[in-house]
């Protein structure tokens, strides 16, 4: 029998995984056991980019104002292709049993994004962020429409695949579209992996279908901390950080820390392993970013 605390995934200790079928529960428990041995203090994506080996495409799916793409190019020393509608989510995003984020949210036209654009020195040209001297190419449009034509025009394997489209539907579609280009050694980084009904579910179903081998490499900070860090003025950076901390708490994302009446508080403090508590309290909000490496092709490419 698994420990009682293994019922709860450490994304807010919000989701009781017994709502899922047995095979998915087993996958989640195995994932958590392995990820707890892969904790890193920094950003998962940048950690992977700094030690990238082998040739191939670097794809950043869901870039918002583009700092993940630019920094990925800096750390890797390679060209990076960043995909986004820049008009927000293309479908509703249900975050486990918590809030519903409506389609159109996370647009670069929103006030917070506009302030962050100004304070990080980003400019827009025809509604697309500029590269700011980095070796990046931003591709405007939904990945439902743009990803397959891009791959047709750009041969070769995918070396790094960074997923920040958030929703289950978009993630699964992108994985399926790229499946023939994944190879042994391809690195997949998921920014919202520990949302059980989003990217984690999409990858689980994708791996079940194609039966390929993989291993987890890192579990660490997600992208929002990176965006805040690019604010050049220290005073503005402080206020951006404080604003984000409060937004996390007001949205319920940090309720495991401070809401005495919330069941997530008791799940977190009474049920979580001490290592998870210490690790997760070190972030602004949540640590959901995970990387993995494909170690065997299975039925990929067939």
Q: In the prediction, which pLDDT does 1 show? A: 40
**Segments of the chain scoring below 70 in pLDDT:** 1-14, 244-259, 280-286
Q: Which CATH architecture has domain 4-296?
A: 3-Layer(aba) Sandwich (3.40)
Token reading at 270: 């009474």
Return d(Cα 80, Cα 158) in angstroms, integer: 11
Exposure class string for 266-279: b at 16+ Cβ within 10 A, else e: ebbeebbeeebbeb
Map tokens 């919000």 to a residue: 14
User: Do the bridges between strand 187-190 and strand 39-43 make them parallel or antiparallel, or are there none, so unpaired?
Assistant: unpaired
Residue spans per domain, the chain: 4-296
CA distances from 155 to 61, 152, 161, 282, 292 (A): 18, 7, 15, 41, 23
**Angle value at C-alpha 192, between 191 and 195, nearest 5 degrees:** 165
Token reading at 207: 């791996």
Map tokens 């690019």 to a residue: 230
Return d(Cα 283, Cα 269) in angstroms, integer: 16
Sequence-separated contacts (24+) of 274-280 with Cβ below 8 Å: 275/36, 275/39, 276/10, 276/36, 279/39, 280/10, 280/256
Q: In the prediction, which pLDDT does 71 show? A: 95
Q: In the prediction, which pLDDT does 281 show? A: 67
CA distances from 90 to 82, 124, 167, 262, 264 (A): 16, 21, 9, 31, 29
Q: What is the pTM of this model?
A: 0.90
Mean of pLDDT over the chain = 87
Q: In the prediction, which pLDDT does 29 show? A: 86
For the chain, the residue count is 302
Map tokens 């791996």 to a residue: 207
Map tokens 């001490």 to a residue: 274
Helix runs in the chain, H state only: 22-35, 44-49, 67-76, 111-119, 143-153, 168-178, 199-210, 223-229, 234-250, 255-258, 263-266, 274-280
Map tokens 């891009």 to a residue: 150
pLDDT digits (tens, 9 = 90+) for 159-196: 999 999 999 999 999 999 999 999 999 999 999 898 88
pLDDT digits (tens, 9 = 90+) for 290-300: 999 999 999 99
């Amino acid at each position: 029998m698994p420990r009682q605390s293994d019922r709860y995934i450490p994304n807010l200790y919000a989701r009781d995984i017994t709502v899922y079928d047995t095979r998915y529960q087993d996958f989640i428990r195995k994932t958590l056991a392995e990820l707890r041995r892969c904790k890193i203090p920094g950003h998962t994506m940048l950690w992977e980019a700094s030690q990238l080996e082998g040739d191939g495409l670097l794809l950043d799916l869901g870039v918002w104002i583009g700092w993940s793409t630019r920094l990925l190019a800096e750390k890797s020393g390679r060209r990076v292709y960043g995909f986004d509608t820049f008009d927000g989510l293309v479908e509703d995003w249900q975050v486990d049993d918590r809030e519903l984020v409506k389609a159109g949210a996370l647009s670069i036209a929103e006030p917070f994004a506009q302030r962050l654009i100004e304070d990080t020195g980003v400019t827009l040209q025809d509604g697309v962020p500029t590269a700011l001297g980095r070796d990046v190419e931003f591709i405007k449009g939904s990945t439902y429409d743009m990803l397959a034509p891009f791959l047709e025009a750009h041969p070769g394997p995918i070396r790094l695949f960074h997923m920040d489209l958030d929703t289950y539907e978009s993630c699964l579609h992108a994985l399926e579209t790229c499946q023939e280009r994944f190879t042994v050694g391809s690195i997949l980084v998921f920014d919202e992996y520990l949302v059980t009904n989003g990217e984690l579910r999409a990858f689980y179903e994708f791996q079940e279908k194609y039966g390929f081998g993989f291993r987890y490499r890192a579990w660490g900070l997600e992208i929002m901390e990176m965006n805040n860090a690019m604010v050049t003025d220290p005073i503005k950076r402080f206020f951006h950080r404080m604003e984000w901390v409060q937004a996390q708490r007001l949205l319920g994302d940090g309720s495991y820390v401070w809401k005495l009446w919330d069941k997530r508080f008791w799940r977190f403090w009474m049920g979580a392993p001490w290592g998870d508590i210490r690790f997760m309290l070190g972030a602004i909000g949540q640590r959901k970013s995970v990387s993995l490496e494909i170690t065997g092709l299975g039925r990929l490419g067939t």
